[in-house]
Amino acid sequence: IDPHMFLHFLPDDYRAHTSCISEAERYEKTIYKGPRKNDTKGRKLTPQESWMEIINESLTSSCPPSLSSHLQNLSSLDNVPRKEKAFRNFASNSLGLRGQSGDAAITSIWKHLISARQEKLKAKEEQEKAQKEAKENSTPTKTDKEEDTSSSTTKNSNEQKIEKSKSKKKSAVKAMKKALKKAPSKQLKVKELRKLVKAQIEAKDKDELKNLMADVIATEKSIIAEGKIVRLII
């Protein structure tokens, strides 16, 4: 048993005795490598540490003089409750605030701390928003070279489509003339001609083939349509 555990405390010493240390920290002292009290560097604060930070930061010029000494005493403690009911009991016992006047003082302290917490949260949200906007604004835009490459790719794609369309039309003209030359009187019904042309060229569907043949008839002087009959003129 550690004999130091039986040292006598003075009446107010309990206020300063707010946390315990491990035996390793007690006896190894300077060579102790574990986490030490208030060492928050490089890690996220616990909810209790955040609360104590708010209590410490509430001791500003905006702090009412009547609450200053109470907040100073609270900031020296580590186990201040974060919920109002527990806080009121704790403040009453630790700060000696009792009776009607003590109750009023505790209410003022609590309101002051809650206000400080809300301001801190608001400031954090605004900071995160500003960081997000800065990150979005710093997103690299396309360089002139990238835009030129994109434009060139689109141009090439359009040119390829045009060339493919011309090639299909050329094939359709050739297939239609060939079919009409072999037909009696060099004429065929539209449906019959369409079947013969379809076997000769690539077309996605019936509509594309119809449009292709209509285009040929409209532009080729040697191929004319008379109602449902298509004729070749030589």
Per-residue confidence (pLDDT) for residue 87, from 0 to 100: 92
Residue 230 reports pLDDT greater than 80: yes
The DSSP string of 38-63 is: T--TTSPPPHHHHHHHHHHHT-STTS
Identify whether the C-beta of residue 190 lies closer than 8 Å to the C-beta of residue 231: no
pLDDT digits (tens, 9 = 90+) for 14-60: 454 445 454 445 545 555 455 555 556 667 889 898 889 888 888 87
Per-residue confidence (pLDDT) for residue 184, from 0 to 100: 87
Per-residue confidence (pLDDT) for residue 111, from 0 to 100: 92
Per-residue confidence (pLDDT) for residue 159, from 0 to 100: 83
DSSP-derived 3-state class of residue 229: strand
Q: Name the pLDDT band for 137 (thresholds 50, 70, 90).
A: confident
Give Cα 193 distance to the centre of its chain.
59
Per-residue confidence (pLDDT) for residue 61, from 0 to 100: 63
Beta strands in 128-207 (DSSP E): 187-189
* Residue 76: CB atoms within 10 Å: 13
Identify whether the C-beta of residue 193 lies closer than 8 Å to the C-beta of residue 223: no
Q: Name the pLDDT band for 9 (thresholds 50, 70, 90).
A: very low
Q: What is the mean pLDDT of the chain?
A: 78
The larger pLDDT score, comparing residue 137 to residue 94, is at 94
High-pLDDT (> 90) share of the chain, %: 15
Residue 140 reports pLDDT greater than 90: no
Q: Using alpha carbons, list the distances in angstroms from residue 150 to 93, 138, 140, 172.
A: 73, 22, 16, 33
pLDDT digits (tens, 9 = 90+) for 89-122: 999 999 899 999 999 999 999 998 998 899 888 9
Q: Name the pLDDT band for 7 (thresholds 50, 70, 90).
A: very low
Residues in the chain: 234
Per-residue confidence (pLDDT) for residue 41, from 0 to 100: 65
Q: What is the mean pLDDT of residues 164-175?
A: 84
Residue 147 reports pLDDT greater than 80: no
* Sign of the torsion angle spanned by Cα atoms 68, 74, 80, 85: negative
